[in-house]
């Protein structure tokens, strides 16, 4: 009789134990299911996704664009985790459309009070400099990095600020040397740069050229830079037609529209567009643009004669 009772009691305990384990596991599963991803974890996942994407890409231009996207996401993550309320607000402003939201964030940060702690001043200046770097406005980035060097960072205890100051020095040095080298080799850079670096250099030269094109006084200098941009993209369109023919056609049209280059570039663009199968998606738009520029060129020629 006792043996029977103890056996049933053992079964009862085993059943009770299994039930308790089952309840806890269900509760844990329910708890895990209710954990919502944080803004930080979402950004971290997106950075990881883009880093995998970067490894898989072979197109040099696409790789450069993904690197910029990763830098942008890391900047957002840094602002999100920063103690500065100004940077947290800037992170709110930064959206997917990089150019528009980045300029909006810069405009906001330029209005921050002047009487901030040195650590926050440095953080904001570095943040702004990196935004300018992403936008490839190297003059503005250099200016912000120079501002960082003016701030007394001896009392700044925030992580990595000594490294930021060093980075500022390197950036300014590279920028000034690079500008000087570009000026010295402005007619030969397409023969100096390796193919791997060509899209990056062309992109930077194009930004500099268009910056100088804003003023009639410096447009000639901008035009000399832009001629190199044309040569680089011509080379790339010959070696990688699928990736660069369409870009080269657009650059040819920019040459006529922005730098008043020879209308012969329009003929070259039209011939490339007619003979290529690599620019199907933009064919209608580019043909319209060629037609419009030909009309403008004809009117200008008539006015000058």
In this prediction, residue 298 has a pLDDT band, given cuts at 50, 70 and 90, of: low
Could you please report the per-residue DSSP string of 210-267?
Answer: HHHTTSTTTHHHHHHHHHHHHHHHHHHHHHSHHHHHHHHHHHHHHHHHHH---THHHH
pLDDT exceeds 90 at position 252: yes
Spell out the residues 6+ positions from residue 302 whose beta carbon is closer than 8 angstroms to its own: none
Domain limits of the chain? 192-305
What pLDDT does residue 4 have? 44
Say what the pTM is. 0.48
Instruction: State pLDDT tens for residues 263-272.
Output: 889 999 999 8
- For 7-44, the pLDDT digits (tens) are 454 565 566 566 655 555 544 544 444 556 778 888 88
């Amino acid at each position: 009789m006792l043996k029977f009772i103890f056996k049933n009691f053992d079964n009862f305990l085993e059943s009770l134990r299994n039930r308790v384990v089952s309840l806890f596991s269900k509760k844990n599963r329910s708890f895990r299911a209710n954990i919502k991803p944080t803004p930080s974890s979402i950004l971290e996942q997106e950075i990881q996704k883009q880093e995998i994407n970067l490894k898989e890409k072979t197109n040099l231009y696409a790789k450069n664009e993904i690197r910029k996207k990763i830098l942008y996401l890391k900047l957002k993550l840094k602002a999100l985790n920063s103690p500065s309320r100004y940077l947290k607000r800037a992170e709110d402003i930064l959206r997917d459309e990089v150019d528009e939201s980045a300029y909006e964030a810069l405009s906001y940060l330029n209005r921050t009070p002047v009487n901030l702690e040195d650590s926050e001043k440095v953080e904001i200046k570095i943040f702004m400099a990196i935004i300018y770097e992403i936008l490839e406005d190297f003059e503005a980035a250099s200016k912000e990095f120079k501002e960082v060097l003016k701030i007394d960072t001896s009392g700044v205890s925030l992580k990595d600020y000594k490294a930021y100051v060093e980075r500022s020095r390197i950036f300014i040095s590279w920028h000034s040397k690079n500008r000087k080298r570009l000026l010295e080799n402005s007619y030969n850079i397409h023969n100096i740069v390796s193919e791997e670096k060509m899209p990056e250099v062309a992109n930077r030269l194009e930004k500099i050229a268009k910056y100088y094109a804003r003023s009639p006084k410096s447009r000639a200098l901008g035009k000399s830079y832009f001629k190199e941009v044309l040569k680089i993209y011509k080379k790339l369109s010959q070696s990688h037609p699928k990736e660069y023919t369409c870009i080269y056609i657009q650059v040819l049209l920019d040459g006529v529209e922005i730098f008043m280059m020879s209308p012969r570039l329009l003929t070259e663009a039209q011939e490339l567009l007619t003979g290529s199968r690599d620019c199907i998606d933009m064919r209608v738009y580019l043909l319209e643009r060629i037609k419009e520029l030909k009309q403008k060129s004809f009117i200008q020629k008539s006015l000058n004669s």
